[in-house]
Structure 1
Amino acid sequence: MANKEGHRRFGNVRKLPSGRYQARYPGPDGRMRNAPETFARKSDADRYLTLVEAQMVRREWVDPDLAKVKLDDYARRWIEQRPNLRPRTVHLYGWLLEKHIVPYLGGTELGRLDTPMVRDWRAELLGNGVSVSMAAKAYRLLRAVLMTAVKEDQILTRNPCQIPGADQEKAAERPVLTLAQVFKLADIVPPRYRALVLVTTFGCLRWGEVSALQRQDIDTTAGTIRIRQAYTEQRGVGLVLGPPKSRAGRRTVTLPPAVVEVVRDHLAAEVDDHPDAFVFTTESGRPIWRGNLNKIIAWKASVSRIGQPNLHFHDLRHTGNTLAARTGASTRDLMARMGHDSPQAALIYQHATAEADRAIAQALHEAVRADRKKGKKSDANGKRKDKAGKKSKKDSGR
């Protein structure tokens, strides 16, 4: 039997038959708990109890039984119970968890996770060839999961995801088409999809939004399109029609008159008169899958012909956002057109156009300087010629 070793104001220490010491203490709920490990010296056990008592006073104590839950189990429940996640987001989170988090950290207890462990995990991902962008996505998911463990469930006192810059994707700059390239691309693709290119670009629409447009969403008199739903592609399910990506995604966008004319012709030639008829479909009238785009539009060949072989369909929205920002629109107006809740994306486009504007101003400045320099040189030559002329006249008078 264990021998008692005196009494303490908080908790107690007893010597075990093995000669080691065990520390026990009452939690806030009154239930007695054992220290997660035994101690070689009684003073070490006493020191542990002093630390636990101080944590309780500062409200920093974490129930060690809760902290024993494995990251794998906790993260799966987090995804299942997270409110308002779109099906596509649920699929992405599940894939990131299975592919990049569980194989490395899934069996670790939450209470044992620390920043060096997270740093080693991220370094191993990058060392195994995972892109910076994908590693950033996995890191952000892990950070969000553990933030819930800190703030809501109070399993952890601090989020171990504390690596500066690990959440940044640093994606390559996507191409922006010129107006001429946009209209050339619209002319290259089959006539049935000409309006698709122009509406996506000048309406600043996501793929799921433009593919879900119905006749009732188009007002050719006002020149507007209404975005109230979007398609998502779910593995094992197919195309699912639901709300836009965010609350701000529900919006009405005005198209340029030149594009409205193309849309009007498209509705007359390719779309049924029923209000529920989808505006952009395949030849058989079925919704378009993003993966089928190359087959039905010959996308790769088309973008190569305009000199942009690496162009993605989403870059049409990127182009439209950039063109809209160049008009000098306010951040709020850009947010409304792009369908964003946060001003972050709008500010990025405004910053990019501001840099381009400064580059233009600098180029103009250099042109002015060059012209003035040329003018001064011309004036100097003129003065020298004038002096030389006066001098020759003076000599001839002699």
Structure 2
Amino acid sequence: MKGNLTRRGKSSWRLKFELGVDPDTGKRLTRYHTINGTKAHAQAEAAKIIASSVTGSYVDHSRETVAEFIARWLQDWAATNTSNKTYQRYEQILRRHVVPHIGKLALQKVRAADVQSIQAKLAKAGLADRTRLHVHRVLHRMLKHAAQWGVVQQNVAGLIDAPTVVGKEIDILTPAALKKVLSSVQGRPIYSVAITALGTGMRRSEILALRWQDVDLDGAVLRVERSLEQTKRGGLLFKAPKTRHGRRTITLPASLVTALRAHWKAQQEQRLMLGLGKAPPESLVFCEHDGSPRSPNALTKEWSTLMGKASLRATFHSLRHTHASTLIASGLDVLTISRRLGHGSPAITLGVYGHLFKTDDRAASIMDAALIGTE
């Protein structure tokens, strides 16, 4: 396949070539490209373009900007292939950290250096390494689809290294700190939610989706069957666990059983006062006065406010971490802990809490005993 390269200006050239035949109309498809630079440069670029048309990797010229493609990608792919929470996270990352830097650039003109420049600017602005990694991953996924859809020739985000994230210490409450934390929420509705998180290791979203029919106080167990998600796009939505291990049975400590019985009694009394009658089995364990779901975001805000007033540094999620660390300190095996936490695999548990497991120095003596009989 040949092309025709002609000069248009002092350092401007026009490439004209035939892309093939339109299968619908039978007409020849002619394409034009403007190339700036010396004649040698124009000839080299023309050769690349013609070669791509032969191999099938040719991409039609488009003036679509990065910002315009982001809007199209969110609507055409993310909206139907991700959860509301993931969609919201993708939209926020691209709007806050990509559009301000390269949003006005034509997508086809974005180079690896532009993507690297975003990372440099975000680092200079003080963004956490993990946030920059999220930016890289979302941009990489979007550009991968741009390449698959024939909008660009390659995913330039794949040409640069992803930011390295240094693991940070997880929030684990000492016995003294835990006592202060629980004391600061004692007597408030959030107290029952807090001790449930501490006694089970459940996530905030799982606790707020818990129904009385999922709880067996006589058997001292509960069943995690779903979670409560909150996003601007979808509002409050109950969802099934992401993995099969997320759906699990958790044994309850006696102190938590006692607390939940008291919570159930108080809840029934309140419902009767409001004229709502006895709560049906499918009603939520932790809910608003009228039985509607509690907002996960509002719960976190309330928790942060109470901790601030008490001058305590403790996130709600630290209760889950404290639960896990307590089990590890007791010598419970990693598989059991992983299943209780609802992790997809013990590898995830080790990745988060591996540094808390004590090294067992008996390995050498065990091998010695085993090898004695082989001599």
TM bucket normalised to smaller: 0.7 to 0.9
In structure 2, do the counterparts of structure 1 residues 62 and 261 end up closer, same or farther at CA, with 3 Å as the change threshold? Answer: farther
Look up the SS of the partner of 1:164 in the other structure.
coil
Counterparts of 1:184 and 1:233, CA distance in 2: 29
Question: Which protein has greater RCO, CA pairs closer than 8 Å, 6+ apart?
Answer: 2
Residue identity opposite 1:278 in structure 2: L
Look up the SS of the partner of 1:277 in the other structure.
coil
Counterparts of 2:305 and 2:99, CA distance in 1: 39
In structure 2, do the counterparts of structure 1 residues 236 and 70 end up closer, same or farther at CA, with 3 Å as the change threshold? Answer: closer
Q: Which residue of 2 aligns with 1:26?
A: 18
- Map 1:28-177; keep pairs closer than 5 Å: 31-37=29-35, 40-41=38-39, 44-55=41-52, 61-65=57-61, 68-80=63-75, 81-82=77-78, 83-151=80-148, 153=150, 155-166=152-163, 168=165, 170=166, 172-177=168-173
Bigger Cα displacement from structure 2, 151-160 vs 251-260: 151-160
Counterparts of 1:350 and 1:296, CA distance in 2: 24
Contact in 2 for aligned 1:25/1:49 (Cα 8 Å) = no
In structure 2, do the counterparts of structure 1 residues 28 and 345 end up closer, same or farther at CA, with 3 Å as the change threshold? Answer: farther
Aligned with 1:277 (options 273, 283, 291): 283
Deviations along 1:129-154, one digit per CA (max 9) or x if unpaired, are: 43434333322221221122234657
Aligned with 2:333 (options 329, 335, 360): 329
- Map 1:160-199; keep pairs closer than 5 Å: 160-166=157-163, 168=165, 170=166, 172-178=168-174, 181-182=177-178, 185-191=181-187, 192-199=189-196
Q: Verify: 1:311 aligned to 2:302, yes or no.
A: no
Structure 2: 5+ residue runs without aligned partners? 23-28, 269-277, 362-375
Aligned pairs, number: 340
Counterparts of 1:231 and 1:143, CA distance in 2: 29
In structure 2, do the counterparts of structure 1 residues 221 and 334 end up closer, same or farther at CA, with 3 Å as the change threshold? Answer: same
Deviations along 1:169-224, one digit per CA (max 9) or x if unpaired, are: x4642321245654664455234444322221232222122112121111123322
Q: Verify: 1:11 aligned to 2:2, yes or no.
A: yes
Counterparts of 2:98 and 2:286, CA distance in 1: 39
Residue identity opposite 1:300 in structure 2: M
In structure 2, do the counterparts of structure 1 residues 206 and 217 end up closer, same or farther at CA, with 3 Å as the change threshold? Answer: same
In structure 2, do the counterparts of structure 1 residues 44 and 187 end up closer, same or farther at CA, with 3 Å as the change threshold? Answer: closer
Q: Which residue of 2 aligns with 1:364?
A: none
Counterparts of 1:297 and 1:121, CA distance in 2: 32
Residue identity opposite 1:352 in structure 2: H
Aligned with 1:300 (options 280, 287, 307): 307
Counterparts of 2:21 and 2:334, CA distance in 1: 55
Aligned with 2:243 (options 247, 259, 263): 247
Counterparts of 1:254 and 1:144, CA distance in 2: 40
In the superposition, the TM-score normalised over structure 1's length comes to 0.72
Contact in 1 for aligned 2:65/2:106 (Cα 8 Å) = yes
CA RMSD of aligned residues (A): 3.5
Contact in 1 for aligned 2:3/2:50 (Cα 8 Å) = no
CA shift, 1:88, in A, is 2.5
Counterparts of 2:239 and 2:34, CA distance in 1: 48
Deviations along 1:245-280, one digit per CA (max 9) or x if unpaired, are: 623433332223332232233223335531132212
Contact in 2 for aligned 1:218/1:225 (Cα 8 Å) = yes
In structure 2, do the counterparts of structure 1 residues 216 and 328 end up closer, same or farther at CA, with 3 Å as the change threshold? Answer: same
Q: Verify: 1:211 aligned to 2:208, yes or no.
A: yes
State the structure with more CA Rg: 1
Q: Which residue of 2 aligns with 1:291?
A: 298
CA shift, 1:243, in A, is 0.1
